[in-house]
Amino acid sequence: MTALSDLIKKLKMKAPNVMEYFVDIDNAKARVKFISKVERVVRNSLEYRSYIQFLKNNIDLNSCIFFENMSQQSPGGRKKKISIQLHHEPLTLYDIVDAVTRKFEEEGKEINAMLIADEVMECHYNNIVGLVPLSKTAHEMVHNSGKIYIPLNCVYGNYSQFIDEYYDYLDDSVFDKINRKVEQTKNMKPEDFDAIRKQFTYLEEEGYDEVQKVDLLEEEKPENISDTVVVADDVA
């Protein structure tokens, strides 16, 4: 009978070469690419998803600050099929990652995407990152319209502590942005929210000054039509 040891064939392998992890962020293009990569690592991490879920379930960050009726939960606690997204404010996630990266550079630490992402998440868990709940539409408008400003008093999270702790690592443009947002918050008026109010547009046709209400005789009524119909060349 063949022994099991006789069926085992041993192969000797050379020790693998030591792999060096090197990140070159000396030029602006490479730096932007690296920071964007860290942003993706953070957003796609289990820790980040768990953190967002915790805020929505326990801190009640599940209603849009602009559209009060846009909420992921009904008054009875039942979840709605509405997407509420958490927007970083007044510092973007890019600003935060950039500051942590600069800290690593100044302290001579290894520039590693995973290690930097860990510290960024630690900042989130320490509640020193500003966040605002927005509906998907409002979120897109904030990023793309350039007309909607978020009052700083609507921001959740002690973002001022982050600014204090990472003061030496923040880009000058960040301070300009903070000062601008502070002034916007101080001077904000109700009409500043006009950009997100409903607006109806009517198309006018020559010869029709306004929408006309016409009462049809009983015998003239088509099936499945109410007692009064509106005949209009204007379209809402």
What's the pLDDT band for 143 if we cut at 50, 70, 90? Answer: confident
All structural domains of the chain with their residue ranges? 28-196, 201-236
* pLDDT at 214 > cutoff 50: yes
Q: Which residue has the higher pLDDT, 226 or 178?
A: 178
Tokens standing for 194? 């006009």
CB burial of residue 98 (10 Å; 0-12, 13-18, 19+): buried
| Percent of residues, the chain, with pLDDT higher than 90 | 46
Three-class SS of residue 131?
strand
What span, in angstroms and rounded, lies between the C-alpha atoms of 225 and 216?
Answer: 10
pLDDT at position 232, please?
38
What's the pLDDT band for 1 if we cut at 50, 70, 90? Answer: low
pTM above 0.85, yes or no: no
Residue 104 CB coordination number (10 Å): 16
| Residues 44-85 pLDDT 10s | 999 999 999 999 989 989 888 887 676 765 555 555 567 889
| Residues 11-23 pLDDT 10s | 888 887 766 666 7
* pLDDT at 219 > cutoff 60: no
